[in-house]
Structure 1
Amino acid sequence: MPRIRPLATLFAIPLAVAAALGMATPPAQAASGGASTCRGQGVDPAAQIRHRTDTVIKAPLSTVWKLQTDVERWPAWQAPVLTMKRLDPGPLRKGSRFRWTTPAPATPTTPETTLSITSTVRQLQRGSCILWKGPAIGEGLRIDEGVHLWTFTQVRGGVRVHTEETWTGEQVEADVPTATEALGRGLEQWLRDLKATAEADQTDSR
């Protein structure tokens, strides 16, 4: 499996909000073994490729929510997102779908290509969590399914954002260590971008 850094940003949708809606923010639910879930569902427990990470963002939940759920604006703060199109109107909710593209560079075993990702929200609890999944397909490169979970918890001074993701598919499973490394780099970068953008928004508003 080649290095596919841009792919690692594929599976990430958003959530956060309770503060903006005046709702309490319940803690992330836990499944057996301490795994995070959203309304009882989590990432693929059988997947060989997985990564989990979190960060604390020093910004209101409303700011994180706006950045993450306004998916049409992802290209403005995430360079790997080339295009984005909502496939249904209104706020993100269970069943919402959107299609976006991201580049994947050439590697010794795959050509340079642009991946098209169709994301479907499978579970969502406002102010607490969101789970989505979908394939990433390009010429000569495919991830059959990425499952991405985000949880958002208000803490002193900000919001703790936790994310977990799994990938499945014959091509990525051909080299699990390399695919896992790529996934991990991508999730860490996604959180850094989210944190930097949200905290910069707070500075600019002062």
Structure 2
Amino acid sequence: MPGIRTALLAAPVTLVSLVGLAPAAVPAQAAAHPHSTTPLTCRGQGVDPDARVRYRTETLIHASPRTVWKTQTDIARWPSWQPAVTSAERLDDGPFRTGSAFHWTMPVPPTPRTPATRLDITSTVQQLRTGSCIRWTGPADGEGLHIDGVHVWTFTAVRGGVLVRTEETHTGPQVDADVPAATELLRQGLEAWLRDLKAVSEAPSAARG
């Protein structure tokens, strides 16, 4: 997905919780993410400039650039370290590259407005620089929910590890109907993704892999 947990997506928490969230459950600061920050880009392309739902965050991962990149781009293994991802598969063969596509799913529990369903996300890599950045886009669909997402990742080698930055935008009738709630849920999803990526990349087994 545009990546969604895309999030794409993707942020899994974002998409799983979006429909039916009561506005009162969203903190007042949910939409306070600064829009003045220069958007992340990959090969000159960034997130959707017109999207009202957007979030950006980053973390320092104490692991080698190779480990972090391999972990993030090994799509089929996402369910092994991202609890919210129930399935993930590449739709093409060979190295992860521009044009690569992947399909991933997550369960969506019932809400006051929608029944339980499965969210199907299809993401396509639009821009990529190996070891440095990825930009993917694509739809996420479930019963009563449609999101179009754009997701950008950058990976910068720094002293002590890799600085991973990510930014994602969502558009669609459900998210546009409640921007503060959708923004907060996107924040939750992206923060969870980075926590999981950091944990698995820093694990001793990752260094041996």
Q: TM-score, normalised by structure 2?
A: 0.81
**Counterpart in the other structure of 2:33:** none
More divergent stretch after superposition (47-56 vs 81-90): 81-90
**Counterpart in the other structure of 1:10:** 8
Q: 1:156 and 1:174, CA in 2 relative to 1: closer, same or farther beyond 3 A?
A: same
Find the residue that maps to 1:36 and give its secondary structure.
coil
Note the C-alpha offset of 1:110. Answer: 2.2
Task: Determine if contact 1:8/1:185 at 8 Å carries over to the other structure.
Answer: no
**Counterpart in the other structure of 2:98:** 94
Q: 1:97 and 1:66, CA in 2 relative to 1: closer, same or farther beyond 3 A?
A: same
Is the aligned partner of 1:152 residue 2:141?
no
Structure 2: 5+ residue stretches without partners: 12-35
**Counterpart in the other structure of 1:106:** 110
Identity %: 62
Q: 1:203 and 1:134, CA in 2 relative to 1: closer, same or farther beyond 3 A?
A: closer
Find the residue that maps to 1:149 and give its secondary structure.
strand
**Counterpart in the other structure of 1:72:** 76
Note the C-alpha offset of 1:111. Answer: 2.0
Amino acid paired to 1:93: R
Task: Determine if contact 1:75/1:84 at 8 Å carries over to the other structure.
Answer: yes
Amino acid paired to 1:184: R
Moved over 6 A (4+): none
Note the C-alpha offset of 1:108. Answer: 2.0
Find the residue that maps to 2:68 and give its secondary structure.
helix
Note the C-alpha offset of 1:203. Answer: 7.9
Residues 16-31 of structure 1 mapped to structure 2, 5 A cutoff: none
Task: Determine if contact 2:66/2:131 at 8 Å carries over to the other structure.
Answer: no
Alpha-carbon distance in structure 2 between the residues aligned to 1:61 and 1:7: 22
Amino acid paired to 1:194: L
Q: How large is the RMSD of aligned CA atoms in angstroms?
A: 2.0
Aligned length: 181
Structure 1: 5+ residue stretches without partners: 1-5, 14-31
**Counterpart in the other structure of 2:164:** 161
Find the residue that maps to 2:48 and give its secondary structure.
coil
Amino acid paired to 1:10: L
Note the C-alpha offset of 1:167. Answer: 0.1
Task: Determine if contact 1:130/1:151 at 8 Å carries over to the other structure.
Answer: yes
Note the C-alpha offset of 1:12. Answer: 5.0
Deviation string 1:114-133 (CA, Å, 9 cap, x unpaired) is 10001000000112110001
More divergent stretch after superposition (186-195 vs 94-103): 94-103
